[in-house]
Amino acid sequence: MFSFFSTSMLRLLILFLAIAAYGCARDSEQSERLITLRLSHVFNPNEELAKSIELVADRINEKSNGAIRILTYPNAQIAAYKDGVEMVVRGAHFISVEDPSYIGDYVPEFTALVGPLLYNNYDEYLALVETPMVQEWKKKLEQKGIKVLSLNYIFGFRNLITDRVIKTPEDLNGVKLRTPGSKLFIETLNAMGANATPLPWGETFSALQQGVVDGLEGSEFTNLGAKVYETGKRNVAFTNHFLGTCGVYISTEVWAKIPPRYQQMIEYEFVYEAEQMVNKLKEEHAAVIEELEANGVVFNDIDRDAFEAKTIGLYDGVLPGVTLDMYQQIQSELTKIRSHDELQ
């Protein structure tokens, strides 16, 4: 009798443990499948950056067999700009795609990194962000709770889009220009001679049509993708005052919860697609200019030295935490990069 019950109890115990183990495995599997990250950016779905981000999200979902889902929200449908980065810092399951000046609120060197009138071409910036100097800045940022997945989502140089010819800072006297809410953007446009007017992207077109602002600044790709020229603002001054670039940021706390095999895959996909996007922009820029001209857009060059003289003071205490020393470090690295390019 004792042997019979002992054997029965043993079988029941084994069955119970097997069920429990299966349940734990299912729970573990389910928890992996439930890693959902919301990603926000301000770009129109027709713009190249938005398309690139969609490709990344789709590939991550496919390669992880649904374990990692990234839900994308273009056009600033949810938190964007400063609010988006704050979501990351607070540890939300959220990916912010923003200009690096917004993470400059936490490590000011990133504001200096995308300061006015620094770069002559895309490759200079791409080489700079790979230097040990910038890698150290990224480590400082992680101490603030922000993991950088990429800094390389370039969408073109930002230029002035108005209904007049702008060649010198004096031509901007009294001109109200829409700008994002970044202090870097506001202070730069003011220093250039304009009256910066911070507005959400969603309010920009009505503000242009109602005369609240006289123009805006943005890239040729944004001009074409969002059809800015249809507002009647068809003069573009090649100020190249900013290199339009976005970084991709996630909470270090959330990142630590993602299994390493998925971390590697996620980081690879964001880095890879940024490279593809830059190559595509290089290939298509001339055609974009041509199409804009066919829609009545007129381009003109500017007195770059005059604009540089107006904006250099921004690196000397005007922008929070930004110093001339940071500017000089960046210029030193750019000099090395340019010298290396000339030798090749």
DSSP assignment of 113-161, as one string?
HT-TT--SSHHHHHHHTTSHHHHHHHHHHHTTTEEEEEEEEEEEEEEEE
SS3 166: coil
pLDDT(186) > 60: yes
Instruction: Write out pLDDT tens, residues 59-109.
Output: 999 999 999 999 999 999 999 999 999 999 999 999 999 999 999 999 999
Structure tokens that stand for 248 in this block: 């991709």
Distances in whole angstroms, Cα of residue 326 to Cα of each of 50, 115, 243, 265, 332: 31, 10, 18, 33, 10
Which pairing describes strands 235-251 and 94-98: parallel, antiparallel, or unpaired? antiparallel
Q: What is the pLDDT of residues 47-59, one digit of tens each?
A: 889 999 999 999 9
Distance CA 324, CA 328 (A): 6
**What is the reported pTM?**
0.83
Determine the 3-state secondary structure of 150 from DSSP. Answer: strand
Please state, in angstroms and rounded to a whole number, the distance separating the CA atoms of residues 85 and 324: 26
pLDDT value for 189 = 97
Which percentage of the chain shows pLDDT scores above 70?
A: 90
Q: How far does Cα 23 stand from its chain's mean position?
A: 41
Q: Residue 26: pLDDT above 60?
A: no
pLDDT of residue 13: 47
Is the pLDDT at 15 greater than 50? The verdict is no
pLDDT, residue 310, reads 95
Is the confidence at residue 22, as pLDDT, over 80?
no
Residue 107 region by backbone torsions, left for phi larger than 0, else alpha for psi between -120 and 50, else beta: beta
pLDDT band at 33 (very low <50, low <70, confident <90, very high): low
What digits encode the pLDDT tens for the residues 255-271? 999 999 999 999 999 99
Instruction: Name the H helices within 175-259.
Output: 183-192, 204-209, 220-225, 252-257
The angle, 0 to 180 degrees and rounded to 10, between the axes of the packed helices 260-294 and 48-63 is: 150
* Whole-angstrom distance, CA of residue 342 vs CA of residue 344: 6
Give residue 47's pLDDT. 86
Q: How far apart are CA 194 and CA 161, in angstroms?
A: 12
**Does residue 159 sit in helix, strand or coil?**
strand
Q: Give the whole-angstrom CA distance, residue 162 versus residue 166.
A: 8
Q: For 103-158, what is each residue's pLDDT tens digit?
A: 999 999 999 999 999 999 999 999 999 999 999 999 999 999 999 999 999 989 99
Label the pairing between strands 35-40 and 68-73. parallel
> Which pLDDT value is given to residue 24?
43
Position 29 scores a pLDDT of 42
pLDDT score at 23: 44
Element at 286 (helix H, strand E): helix 260-294
User: Which pLDDT score, from 0 to 100, does residue 344 have?
Assistant: 61
Q: Count CA atoms within 13 Å of residue 251 on its CB side.
A: 17
184 or 33, which is more confident: 184
* 88 within 8 A of 96, measured Cβ to Cβ: yes
Structural domains of the chain in order of their starting residue, each with its CATH number:
34-343 (3.40.190.170)
Reported as half-sphere exposure (CB side, CA atoms, 13 A), residue 188 has a value of: 27
Question: What DSSP letter does each residue of 31-67 carry, written as one string?
Answer: HHHTEEEEEE----TTSHHHHHHHHHHHHHHHHTTTS
Closest CA to 204 of 192, 213, 196, 195: 213
The pLDDT-based confidence of 343 (bands split at 50, 70, 90) is low
pLDDT at 8 over 70: no
The CA-based dihedral angle spanning residues 109, 114, 118, 123, taken in that order and rounded to the nearest 10 degrees: 110
Phi, psi at residue 249, to the nearest 5°?
A: -130, 145
